[in-house]
Amino acid sequence: MSRGNRSPCIVGIGQSEYTKWGGIMDRSQFQVTAEAVRAALADAGISAREVDGFTSFSGDANEANMMHVAIGGEVLRFSGMVWGGGGGGSAGGVSLACAALESGQADVVVVYRGLCQGQSRRFGKFSGTRIQGNFVAPFGLFAPSMMLAMVMQRFMHEHGIGPEAMAEVALSSRANANRNPNAIMFDKPLTREQYFASRWIAEPFRLYDCCLESDGACAVVVTTRERARDLDVKAVDILSAAMGSGPGWGQGPLASHNMPAEDYASTNSRRLAKELFAKAGVDPKDVDVAQIYDHFSGLVLMALEDYGFCAPGESGEFVASGGIRWPDGKLPLNTSGGQLSEAYVHGMNLILEGVRQLRGTSSSQVADARTCLVTGGLGVSPTSGVILGVH
């Protein structure tokens, strides 16, 4: 949906290498993140001197004022961060960038995320220092896998969905990663037998239902359509971007488990999905490819229903029919390998893959892709999403 010359678009993407957590120890997390920012600017063909805004999410440790100095920026006019929700704010960082551009508070905004978990902390591991305000840890829910397992069990019970559906999500993502040289799991095929033989993490999640724990960084450059016209790059329009939460979620399953009963077995995206599609002027049937936040395979099934790609209770049948498989599925999904098999950078790598798809440069390219949905983290508060498109 056009909003004039200040309509926002993505003109550059950049990343560091991706490794297993602890794989990057020769330079700081900040340096790795700055590398991704510089790579995104080089991809866009924009000088660091033009960058006047930064956004990120969920307590990113790489402070914007220092990043501005490190890359050689001149004037900083805008900085913003999405509070809470972990990776739920990944597309929210893009939403903040859009708000800054459309309101005239900035002209070139970089959205970034950098994680070197070997240098700081593992997000999938319980930390006693994070127990303040957490009402579920005293009952043994120490890690996200445990917290979200309860939501997934309820979803499976209500809809009669079995483990084969989750296996399909994991296997499809791994097959896509095996075509992506940048993926951590590029050279590691996964068979159905290996999937079902893997150990339980928190039932119903097996090992391969859980995202990677990675070191790496990603960045995207967002500017106005007016500025993009002067660049020698294929700009990708941001048709809509939004973040938020349904009523009564509070901290949701990651700290309180106090969601309304009718919304408990969901991704907290039903209201958000309606807003996103309405703003973009498209329907789920118009989406050619999707990058759905896959911290756990089962939440992808919930998202397929919450975003309207299939009716309630039909996500298992949808994936069993090959609906998310590349290249012939109705909705090819997480075509870089996603967070299950490419890397876990709190969802920012999914945004990069969405841009690659619409530029025609993905390692699992969807033919004639013109519209892509990217979601932020699922089953958290706030969550977020973005719909990307090309003319």
Tens digit of each residue's pLDDT (9 = 90 or more) over 44-69:
999 999 999 999 998 899 999 999 99
Q: Which residue has the tokens 């440069």?
A: 361
Q: What are phi and psi of 238, to 5 degrees?
A: -95, 100
- CB of 114 closer than 8 Å to CB of 32: yes
CATH fold for the domain made of 8-121+216-389: Peroxisomal Thiolase; Chain A, domain 1 (3.40.47)
- CB of 101 closer than 8 Å to CB of 224: yes
* pLDDT for res 1: 44
Mean pLDDT in residue range 197-212: 97
Mean pLDDT across the chain, nearest whole number?
94
Give the three-state DSSP class for 231.
coil
- Distance, CA of 364 to chain centre: 18
Alpha-carbon gap, residue 262 to 215, rounded angstroms: 37
Nearest to 97 by CA among 217, 12, 35: 12
Give the pLDDT confidence of 84-126 residue by residue, as tens digits: 888 999 999 999 999 999 999 999 999 999 999 888 776 666 5
Domain ranges of the chain: 8-121+216-389
Determine the residue type at 117.
Q
pLDDT of 309 > 90? The answer is: yes
* pLDDT for res 335: 98
Alpha-carbon gap, residue 153 to 376, rounded angstroms: 22
The answer for residues whose C-beta is within 8 angstroms of residue 257's C-beta and 6 or more apart is 135, 136, 141, 147, 150
Nearest to 334 by CA among 296, 294, 307, 295: 294
Strands 200-202 and 53-57: unpaired
Alpha-carbon gap, residue 123 to 117, rounded angstroms: 8
Question: What DSSP line would sit under 153-207, residue for residue?
Answer: HHHHHHHT--HHHHHHHHHHHHHHHTT-TTSTTTT----HHHHHHSPEEETTEEG
Mean pLDDT in residue range 164-173: 98
Cis peptide upstream of residue 327 (ω within 30 degrees of 0): yes
Query: For residue 3, what pLDDT band results from cuts at 50, 70 and 90?
Result: low
Active site residues: 293, 344
* pLDDT for res 325: 98
